[in-house]
Amino acid sequence: MGLSVPQAMLIIVVSRILIAGFSTLIAWIGLKWHIGFTVQNRYSWGLRGSFIPLLQRIMLNFIWNAVQCWNGGRLVAVCLTAIWPSYARMPNTFSPNFPTTTEQFVGFVVFWFLSTPFLWLRPEKFKIPFLIVCTWCGVGMLAWMIWALATAKGVGPLWNSGQNVPAGSEWNTSWLIMAGINQSIGGLAAGITNGSDFSRYARRRRSYLWGTFGSCLVTGVLVSLIGLVTAAAGQKIYGEVYWNPPDLLMRIMDNGNGSSRSRAGVFFLSAGFAFTAMFENICGNAVAGGIDLAGLFPRYINIRRGAIITFVAAWIVQPWQLINRATTFIAVLSSFSVFLAPIIGIMACDYYILRNRRIRLTHLYRTEMSDYYFTKGFNWRAIPAWLAGWAPTIGGLVVTVRGDAKPPRALVELYYMAFLIGFFISGILFYLLNILFPVADMGQMDPIDVYGTFTLAEARRVGVTPLDDSTIVGEALVRGSSGNDYNFKGKDVEVGVTS
């Protein structure tokens, strides 16, 4: 984008603060009520209307999983070159117009097949592998940065002047920074929307907050800083800028022609990065996609089957068509902001303002006499609010994808603010529609913890009576045939407390 390293760091810090804030805003619903993305949209969109945001999430899971598989494949190709230098000289059997080479494609295939067996692991089993690869990756990045600074004897001109700084006013720089913030949030917007899928399992709210803000504001900023410093030093060493780690790693070992020492160092770096990308992709995209698909087709698909389907979809998405064309890739990242920000705005407005953080859990799981069935299963108020959120920015997305030489300035500027525009327009319009056409019994919740969702401390904090035989009078509640689900029997539930 032509910005200097300090300007890029400004983008990173601002975007990370916003990401942490929006993530907590949505994930807090799961922290309190222990429901995931597939369920929490039912009280905003309706039991059937919730399929609209769910389908978008599934599609974006497919895209982002494919992108991460391709990035991991590039790192695998570096590993193979470090072991067998002749790999980099593999003849390209694809046509010159094809947006990748045989070498890169083989790396993608190897990464995809190496990742597939881990889909059979339960997510909680990834704790130890994550600790190992994150330590490996973190130490590797620090060692890489120290090597680059020592070799270059400092950072290069990229630190202050940027790369090909565009001739223009400070206004242009401001808009580039705004575009960078939008793209940064867009790259993680899919994860923001389904934060409840993971936060609902947190034992303590404090644990989630420490983890989220620590990873976003500390780890995320430090990793970006290390990457920028290494790229700046790399420019001083090699005379050009390598923004993509696999490209710089290949340059360090001279495309496999370097010394055995350089190839060994590159191998351990790229292997650590590849395994980190693998586990992050499986948990953040494949498992998340499995959860969404299981919510859409619960009779036929469980989380594991959904994760496998998400992984197979990488071949249909063809990530090499997205990644290797810079304009298209930026458009893909920003498109996440265009379509997901309105959904996040509706979720936040409905839960925090309209419902005052109160949900009736039993009505989320039934179609008869449910507050969340609305009109034939759809809350019509959410649909125009969502459409209005991305209508102002879709034009900028279109001209960017088309690569117009001189697109209308207004469209581009709106596109650069897609996330904030979508969030606030959809949230405000959804609020106004609910004021003009109010929903009955909004902000109600069950008097009893019917499903045994909460601990005793959580039940007291939420304000419901814990599920216990001593609190149930008569046969107001009966245990279902499965032994785990409870259904109301009759209209009234009498709650008593015994000493």
What is the reported pLDDT for 487? Answer: 45
User: pLDDT tens across 170-220, in order?
Assistant: 447 788 888 889 888 988 888 899 889 888 888 888 888 888 888 888 888
Q: Domain residue spans in the chain?
A: 5-326, 447-499
What is the reported pLDDT for 325? Answer: 62
Q: Is the pLDDT of residue 497 over 70?
A: no
Q: Is the pLDDT of residue 383 over 70?
A: yes
User: pLDDT tens across 130-150, in order?
Assistant: 889 989 999 999 999 999 999
Name the more confident of 1 and 260: 260
Q: Is the pLDDT of residue 4 over 90?
A: no
pLDDT band at 482 (very low <50, low <70, confident <90, very high): very low
User: pLDDT tens across 350-364, in order?
Assistant: 999 999 999 999 999
Cα-to-chain-centroid distance, residue 58 = 12
User: pLDDT tens across 229-239, in order?
Assistant: 998 899 888 88
User: pLDDT tens across 53-73, in order?
Assistant: 999 889 888 988 999 999 999
User: pLDDT tens across 394-434, in order?
Assistant: 998 888 777 777 888 888 889 889 999 999 999 999 999 99
User: pLDDT tens across 263-274, in order?
Assistant: 999 999 999 999
What is the reported pLDDT for 97? Answer: 84
What is the reported pLDDT for 477? Answer: 46
Q: Is the pLDDT of residue 483 over 50?
A: no
The CA distance from 279 to 264, in Å, is 23
User: Which are the contacts of 226, defined by CB distance < 8 A and separation ≥ 6?
Assistant: 141, 142, 144, 145
Mean pLDDT of the chain: 85
What is the reported pLDDT for 469? Answer: 54
How is residue 185 written in tokens?
């949030």
Pick from 14, 41, 389: nearest CA to 217: 14
444 with 370: CB under 8 angstroms?
no
Residues in the chain: 499
Percent of the chain scoring above 90 in pLDDT: 47
User: Which are the contacts of 405, defined by CB distance < 8 A and separation ≥ 6?
Assistant: none
User: pLDDT tens across 306-330, in order?
Assistant: 999 999 999 998 888 877 665 566 6
User: Which are the contacts of 12, defined by CB distance < 8 A and separation ≥ 6?
Assistant: 184, 220, 221, 224, 225
Name the more confident of 1 and 321: 321
How is residue 274 written in tokens?
């590849």
Which CATH superfamily does the domain covering 5-326 fall into? Hydantoin permease (1.10.4160.10)
